[in-house]
Amino acid sequence: MTTNAELERRRREAVAKGVSCSFPMFAARAENAELWDVEGRRYIDFVGGMGALAVGHSHPHVVAAIQDQLTRFSHTFFGTAPYEGYVAVAERLNAMAKVGSQAKTLLVTTGAEAVENCVKIARAFTGRRGIVVFGGSFHGRTLLTMGMTGKVNPYKGTFGPFPGEIYRVPFPYPYRDISSDHALAALDSLFETEIEPAAVAAFVIEPFQGEGGFLPAPTDYLIALRQLCDRHGILLVADEVQSGFGRTGHLFAIEHSAVEPDLIAVGKSLGAGLPIAAVVGKAEIMDCVGSGGLGGTYAGNPLACAAALSVMDVLQEEKLLDRAVEIGDRLDAGLRRIRRKGNRTSIGDIRRLGAMIGVEFVEDEDSRVPARDLTARIIQEAASRGLLLAAAGRHFNVIRVLVPLTISNDLIDEAIAILEESIDRAVS
Ligand code: PMP
């Protein structure tokens, strides 16, 4: 039998160090919200392929759709021999996305590419250069999206210089005293000191900031951004790569505010693990780029389109948007019970929209000093008990839940019990 230790030794020899791996275990198979390693150990998966698996691992409908497509063709290049799957994914995304008018779609391969294409399209449409982004944001690992990302370590470090005309303002973070008003004042100041609004092509915002610590953008703040956009001809771009596709109880997190963006970047759970991402936006904006200006060899690959279509079916058939709310309620109740147990002052804040839940750990409730090491210990304790978790936040002191929306209540309860034990052990 191949052991985890043996594979870990080979990984260290063969794989670049910059690719980090949280746990010394190697996956052998996975089903719904569970995963088994090469030694047969079973884990409850609260990371879900880093938020790519709203419908769980190897959903039978998704597997069947991919297998069926594979027997016909796996790739043609849409620009040479187009196929129905791409068109069907676009039609369905257009029907589902609330962008205030008729929509059109571009398919690409990764979330970073989706965000880059939002910038290309926004610049082409407005004829303007400036892109305004937010502290703590994550938009990808290409040079442009790294430049847009608001977290230096480990993403930006020594990789610059980055592309120009990217301007950053704070993202609202009430728990750390950045209110909507503070964040809006910073935007005013940006317009006074750095760039006039008439030169800004787009605001690019995560309506529920993922990597930055699971922070919902307050509704009043999103409304204010929309108003600024309307007043100055700026486009509002929602990066829903992590928060989209059902996790928050709406298809897109921004729907909670009823604010309609001009463009939406979609990724991760759209493909249930196959690499596919999209830009969905107002038709007149999407159509401003001339023929040949958008695309990519694997963009909208047929296997990934087959997966995306079946993901959309499963979301509807299994009522996963409603289920996201139930899962969120159940997890929230469990987490609040753990927090109330008194000696566990380590949980400073719990933030959620639907099943997208972040738990912020602090040294104590008064100082709110981020508890980075404690969070790392909790995650390792949980893994050793069979629960996979991931950290987020500028100080890596937030545990983020990106669990499949197909998980059973029994598994949720088991996971909460493991988390409770892991916190106990890590705190003591
Ligand atoms: N935007 C957001 C909000 C993300 O969370 C991510 C991935 N974590 C990306 C963009 C980049 O997506 P990808 O890794 O598929 O390029």
User: Could you report the predicted ipTM of this complex, rounded to two decimals?
Assistant: 0.99
pTM for the predicted model, two decimal places: 0.98
Instruction: Indicate whether 42 and 82 sit together in one domain.
Output: no
322 half-sphere exposure, CB direction, 13 A CA radius: 5
Domain co-membership, 156 together with 223? yes
Same domain, 252 and 384: no
Task: List pLDDT tens digits, range 180-238.
Answer: 999 999 999 999 999 999 999 999 999 999 999 999 999 999 999 999 999 999 999 99
The 3-state DSSP class for residue 361 equals strand
Give me the pLDDT at residue 254, please.
98
What is the pLDDT averaged over residues 342-367?
A: 89
Rounded CA separation 336/354 (Å): 15
In this prediction, residues 15-35 reach a mean pLDDT of 97
> Is the same domain home to 300 and 410?
no
Integer Cα distance of 206 and 138 in angstroms: 8
Percentage with pLDDT > 70 across the chain: 99
Query: Are residues 123 and 20 part of one domain?
Result: no
Domain C-terminal end among 317, 342, 374: 317
Q: What is the pLDDT of residue 152?
A: 93
pLDDT band at 340 (very low <50, low <70, confident <90, very high): confident
* Ligand 1 residue neighbourhood (C-beta within 6 Å): 110-112, 115, 138-140, 206, 210-211, 239, 241-242, 267
Helix axis angle, 180-193 to 219-232, nearest 10°: 30
* Per-residue model confidence as pLDDT tens digits over 309-321: 999 999 999 999 9
Find the largest Cα–Cα distance for the chain: 64
| Closest ligand 1 atom to Cα of 267 | 15
pLDDT tens readout for residues 135-166? 999 999 999 999 999 999 999 999 999 999 99
- State the CATH number of the domain containing residue 395: 3.90.1150.10
Yes or no: say if 240 and 99 are a contact pair by the CB < 8 Å rule: no
- 411 and 264 in a single domain? The answer is no
- Model confidence band, residue 344 (pLDDT cutoffs 50, 70, 90): low
Which residue in the block uniquely carries the two structure tokens 């303002």? 169
Best residue among 133, 142, 252, 268 to mutate for probing ligand 1's pocket (most ligand atoms within 8 Å of CB) is 268
> Which of 253, 284, 317 is the last residue before a domain boundary?
317
Decide: 180 and 224 in contact? Cβ < 8 Å: yes
Statement to judge: residues 357 and 394 lie in one domain = yes
How many domains is the chain built from? Answer: 2
Task: Check if the beta carbon of residue 420 is closer than 8 Å to that of residue 340.
Answer: no
Coil, helix or strand at residue 156 = coil
Q: Supply the DSSP symbol for 354.
A: T
Q: Residues 29, 37: contact at Cβ < 8 Å?
A: no
Pair 150, 211: CB distance under 8 Å: no
Domain that holds residue 147: 61-317
Residues 198 and 225 in one domain: yes
Q: Are residues 127 and 230 in the same domain?
A: yes
Non-local (6+) Cβ contacts of 220 within 8 A are 180
Looking up residue 79, the CATH number of its domain turns out to be 3.40.640.10
pLDDT(343) > 60: no
Calculated CA dihedral for residues 102, 303, 407, 259, nearest 10 degrees: -20
